[in-house]
Amino acid sequence: MDLFSAYQTDGFYDEMFASEGAARSHYERLQRRFAEMGPGEYERKQAMADQSLLTQGITFTVYGDQRGTERIFPFDLIPRIIPADEWARLERGLRQRITALNLFLADIYGPQRIVREGILPEHYVQSAAHFRPALMGFPVPKGIYVHVCGTDLIRGADGVYSVLEDNARTPSGVSYVLTNRAAMRRVFPRLFARHRVRPVDDYPQHLLDLLRRVAPAGASAGDGDGPAVVLLTPGIYNSAYFEHSFLARRMGIEIVEGRDLVVERDRVFMKTTRGLRRVEVIYRRIDDDFLDPKFFRKDSMLGVPGLVEAYHQGNVSLANALGTGVADDKVIYRFVPEMIRFYLSEEPILPNVPTWLSSEEEDRAQILEHLPELVVKSANESGGYGMLIGPHATKAEIEEFRAKIIANPRNFIAQPVVALSRAPSWCGGAIEGRHVDLRPYILYGGPDDITIIPGGLTRVALRKGSLVVNSSQGGGSKDTWVLEESEDPEQTWVSGLSQSQSQGGQRQSQTLG
């Protein structure tokens, strides 16, 4: 039985099929392999992958779930495949965007040229929830604000990619990219090699190298391999704690909580059984507000008293830097194309989704008139929360958002409903189309020092008809395959298989489980 025999694209842009029954050229080999499987074999392979993820404890936390916080992150076996030329264009666009965002943050905490020249209204900056006026003029190590960024991409009915949002504070999800890939290698080793898929396993090493490069001037040799780096986590109850511990282990660095660190003479130290040990770089997974009770929220029990002053004195580097949340604001997002033109004198390679601002009187009138047709988002919410999808909302929900917009227009934007592209997914015993997005991860050490993980995290809305891909809202994920270019496919398959085997041997000593 061909698992795709009853598959329907339903008029959506489909990642795998150009039309009913006709796979896109880069999916043809995958289609043939899956067509050979019956439901029984597919479910056995899915069970193998699920068991692999379960053994490693691949979980996320749903806040407010009274039935229990920990859930296994759903994983769909049918990968998303991106051809080399398509990925090359995405890489160029992502490089351009992360460079402009860093220039914007350096400017907005410095001379504010973009405000003075009328490109971005000052009141939008001043009213941004995560803008930190107290950080104006703060020296930032190497001048880099966003070291790690997760930029969410979507594409609609025309198949064109656009940027949905940038995650410039503490983007999560990259651990799923790595564990998804490991699961796929175990289940489909030969198919994986024959597709000449670019590796993702070296991301932790790239991240560690970047963190060491942005250490303060005059940093010590740390443990002998470079400056001393730690990962700062809020603790085991944080939704991304699995990722924190996973990345720390893969990088070979300590994972610490605020209580494990102390500041003395404006220097940061980690408490150990052998006494205090100097820390020079902190990969922090705690938002600004909770990082230092002396500088931000005084009631925070998660942070390190005195950390901001140590940072200000240039004795410790933070990744990402303080104050980056202003670039996450969905109102500020509206102006990123203008940032690219202003700072780089280039046209944006990747467009934004059309966005209307409730704080603009003309836009607000149009939003309120067309609420049932629009997606409305809170400027600073994430995870699919604080959002209205007009066509799927009740009258009561629409009126509730109408009141919120009128009461606090600065806090809301509106966008058209984008018919997100779909990809085949295993749903209740059959393969059906489900909406997807893509979150690539970008490491930034300067305009000439940018590393982008090939592909990133494909999130899939497993609920039928849903456009919300977030795990907290019923979403799952897929492995994302970026294909290599090669004039000699057979040679590339062999080298790809050898590389996979080599990396697989390393993982035995590096990964959890």
Q: Are residues 483 and 26 in contact, defined by beta-carbon separation less than 8 angstroms?
A: yes
Q: pLDDT category, 487, cuts 50, 70, 90? A: very low
* Residue 223 in this model has a pLDDT that exceeds 60: no
The per-residue pLDDT for 37 is 85
Q: Euclidean distance between the first and final Cα of the chain, in Å?
A: 36
Q: Are residues 262 and 279 in contact, defined by beta-carbon separation less than 8 angstroms?
A: no
427-446: average pLDDT: 94
* Residue 81 in this model has a pLDDT that exceeds 80: yes
Q: Are residues 13 and 155 in contact, defined by beta-carbon separation less than 8 angstroms?
A: yes
HEC string for 119-165: CCCHHHHHCCCCCCHHHCCCCCHHHCCCCEEEEEEEECCCCCEEEEE
* Residue 381 in this model has a pLDDT that exceeds 80: no
467-492: average pLDDT: 72
Q: What is the DSSP letter of 15?
A: S
55-73: average pLDDT: 59
Relative to beta strand 281-284, strand 229-232 is parallel
CA 431: distance to chain centroid?
27
Domain residue spans in the chain? Answer: 17-510
- Mean pLDDT of the chain, nearest integer: 88
Taking only Cα atoms into account, the Rg of the chain, rounded to an integer number of angstroms, comes to 23
Q: What percent of the chain is modeled with pLDDT above 90?
A: 72
Is the four-CA dihedral 433, 434, 437, 441 of positive or negative sign?
negative
Q: What residues contact residue 381 under an 8 Å CB cut-off, 6+ apart?
A: 387
The per-residue pLDDT for 508 is 31
Relative to beta strand 317-319, strand 281-284 is parallel
* Low-confidence winner among 34-43, 80-89, 111-120 (lowest mean pLDDT): 34-43
Locate tokens 């699919």: which residue?
Answer: 384
Q: pLDDT category, 170, cuts 50, 70, 90? A: confident
The per-residue pLDDT for 493 is 35
* Residue 416 in this model has a pLDDT that exceeds 60: yes
Give 275: exposed, middle or buried? Use CB within 10 Å, 0-12, 13-18, 19+.
Answer: exposed
Structure tokens at 129: 């929830």
The per-residue pLDDT for 60 is 58
Is the four-CA dihedral 219, 221, 225, 230 of positive or negative sign?
negative
Q: What angle do CA 78, 27, 475 make, to 5 degrees?
A: 30
d(CA 177, CA 191): 18
* Residue 431 in this model has a pLDDT that exceeds 70: yes
